[in-house]
A and B are shown apart, each in its own frame.
Chain A
Amino acid sequence: DSGVTQTPKHLITATGQRVTLRCSPRSGDLSVYWYQQSLDQGLQFLIQYYNGEERAKGNILERFSAQQFPDLHSELNLSSLELGDSALYFCASSVDPSGGAREQFFGPGTRLTVL
């Protein structure tokens, strides 16, 4: 158990819909990272927040957005869902704001299926 929690574990929805994925970082970690893992693309970095502020953006689509709240939990919002958005979405946390050589702890993931 990494100490990072993600809900829900599974999500099944239809194309065009909007969903929200939630992540609670490890106690004491201020940085939260979101990743997408699909079968054909592997792991891809989406976005990073540190203490409520966006720090870095990766391959995140405009239909996706995220935020980190004062209690440090984070939400990833996916809208106008397409079949290709079906994937595992992971959240990770670390104590390091710079994404430097500090360990990132991954949550168990949310499996999103878009039908």
Chain B
Amino acid sequence: KNQVEQSPQSLIILEGKNCTLQCNYTVSPFSNLRWYKQDTGRGPVSLTIMTFSENTKSNGRYTATLDADTKQSSLHITASQLSDSASYICVVSALNAGGTSYGKLTFGQGTILTVHP
């Protein structure tokens, strides 16, 4: 069964500090992995999308890594800000029999990050 597991479930850090969120998946065959940021009550916003051949992708202070061999990804946040307080969701897309990834999305439960001043 395709699964995506994120850790930790929640994390509290002080403003200005760095943190790393983890995502382990068993989705196969792999198509791509996305990290989303979701503020409470709002729609998710895409941070990064990585395919099999990419092992690092940055978006400002957010850097995602992907190890397709060990099926692990991490999201590193540098110099955290109060506005980084949100849920971070890892989503893995699988290929279907036709070689496309129509709708074959598996979502992690998310890591709730709280940044304190």
| Partner-B contacts on A (CB < 8 A) | 2, 4, 33, 42-45, 47-48, 55-58, 88, 90, 92, 98-109, 111
Q: Given contacts A101-B51, A106-B44, are A45 and B110 in contact (CB under 8 A)?
A: no
What is the distance, in angstroms, from B92's C-beta to the closest C-beta of chain A? 12
Can you sample 18 A-B contacts with CB below 8 Å?
A2-B45, A42-B110, A43-B89, A55-B102, A56-B103, A56-B104, A90-B43, A90-B44, A92-B43, A98-B101, A99-B93, A99-B101, A99-B105, A100-B100, A100-B101, A103-B46, A105-B46, A109-B42
Query: Considering only CB atoms, which chain A residue lies closest to B46 in the complex?
Result: A103
Partner of B100, one of A98, A104, A105, A106: A98
Partner of A106, one of B32, B45, B93, B105: B45
Partner of A108, one of B31, B42, B96, B107: B42
| Partner-A contacts on B (CB < 8 A) | 31-32, 41-46, 49-51, 89, 91, 93, 96, 100-105, 107-110
With a cutoff of 8 Å between Cβ atoms, the chain A residues found around residue B100 in the complex are 98-100
List the 7 closest A-B pairs by CB distance, nearest first: A56-B103, A106-B43, A56-B102, A98-B100, A101-B32, A48-B103, A43-B107
Q: Is the interface of A mostly helix, strand, loop or mixed?
A: strand
Q: Given contacts A43-B89, A45-B107, A98-B100, are A107 and B49 in contact (CB under 8 A)?
A: no
**Bound: A20/B31 CA distance, A:** 32
Partner of A99, one of B45, B89, B104: B104
User: Are B31 and A101 in contact (CB-based, < 8 A)?
Assistant: yes
With a cutoff of 8 Å between Cβ atoms, the chain A residues found around residue B49 in the complex are 101-103
- Besides A56-B102, A106-B45, 10 other CB < 8 A contacts? A2-B43, A43-B107, A44-B107, A56-B103, A92-B43, A99-B102, A100-B100, A102-B49, A106-B44, A107-B43
User: Are A100 and B31 in contact (CB-based, < 8 A)?
Assistant: yes
**Bound: A108/B42 CA distance, A:** 5
Query: Considering only CB atoms, which chain B residue lies closest to A58 in the complex?
Result: B103
**Bound: A104/B8 CA distance, A:** 25
**Bound: A90/B89 CA distance, A:** 15
With a cutoff of 8 Å between Cβ atoms, the chain A residues found around residue B105 in the complex are 45, 58, 99
